[in-house]
Amino acid sequence: MDSSYHSGETTVQDRAGLTRQAGSAGRAIKDSVPEVAMAFLAQQPMLVLGGTDGAGRVWATQLTGEPGFLSTPDPRTLHVGSLPLPEDPLAGVLAGPDGGSGPARIGAIAIEPATRRRMRVNGRAVRDGQGLRIDLDQVISNCPKYLQTRDYRLLPAHDHDARTRSVTDSTTLSPAQQQALRTADTFFVATASDRGDADASHRGGNPGFVEVLSPTRLRWPDYLGNSMFLTLGNLELNPAAGILLPGWETGGTLHLTGTAHTVWDAEETARVPGAQRLVEFEIEGVREITAASPLRWSEPGYSRFNPPVV
């Protein structure tokens, strides 16, 4: 078995009957950024991060900026030219005056919706001036499945006024938040291993692929992927998870934290088109931030790989 994987990942790979495929896919896990990927990162206006706050809760969030705010001074280092908002659930561990209590273990994913390209980087982040320095442990290129195409524009500074920002905290989803999830075609999920090593990943599908089972419970299908099972492998060892739902048209962010587990029941899974298995998420905390980002995105072009939604 590829030594890039931890025990949770190999357990899930074996249960899914995809150990051989995972071994082959593991060769894509590197410890440095290839030159072509350096150019890709430099073109992106958004980076999604996952990590653990001071209370041990896992959250997913986003950092944004003009293209060029992501740079790679060397193949083992990613510099991010922005910090989380003060209201961000990960601000305490990433943006404090001393960067929190030390290097924060984070997972990150950069996506380019216009071309359906994406890559993940995992490592340890420390504050570096008005940005972050991430010392990289893993660099992973991902396939474009289930990623919707979108174009973006950045609002001028005078049109993005932080004074209009508001924050709402809760332990349950409001009706409007439930509707946003029911109609979502994309979200991001953050997880961490039992050692705290974090990962951030993309989930996409046709609107309706996220089920809102109650104001505190979600479910979504796990579609055919690259067989690495980095997310489900972490959940095998540590159920803590976080979700980010970007407001593509509004610039707002919806952050959820809680616990998740994999549903392996074949009969239940068979009711969901395209699902190989299911994931259920129990919500423990909700934070919604308006005017969180100056990014505005176009209507989506849905991936041809998206399974139908009943």
The share of the chain scoring above pLDDT 70, in percent, equals 95
- Half-sphere exposure for 65 (CA within 13 Å, toward CB): 22
Q: What is the mean pLDDT of residues 64-91?
A: 97
Please name the residues in contact with 37: beta carbons below 8 A apart, sequence gap of 6 or more.
119, 139, 141
**Does residue 155 or residue 168 have the better pLDDT?**
168
Q: What is the mean pLDDT of residues 264-280?
A: 98
User: What pTM was computed for the model?
Assistant: 0.96
24-49 pLDDT, tens digit each: 999 889 999 999 999 999 999 999 99
Is the CB of residue 292 less than 8 Å from the CB of residue 172?
no
Q: What is the mean pLDDT of residues 96-124?
A: 86
Residue 53 pLDDT > 90: yes
Beta strand ranges found along the chain (DSSP E): 29-30, 46-52, 58-64, 70-74, 77-80, 104-112, 117-128, 131-141, 152-154, 167-170, 186-192, 198-204, 211-214, 217-222, 240-246, 253-263, 277-289, 295-297
Would you state the pLDDT for residue 1?
Answer: 42
Q: What is the mean pLDDT of residues 114-132?
A: 94
Q: What are the tokens at 169?
A: 């905290």
Which domains, ranges and CATH numbers included, belong to the chain? 7-297 (2.30.110.10)
Compute the distance between CA of residue 204 and CA of residue 201 in angstroms, rounded to an integer: 10
Would you state the pLDDT for residue 3?
Answer: 63
Is the CB of residue 121 less than 8 Å from the CB of residue 201?
no
Would you state the pLDDT for residue 99?
Answer: 52
Residue 172 pLDDT > 70: yes
Residue 101 pLDDT > 70: no
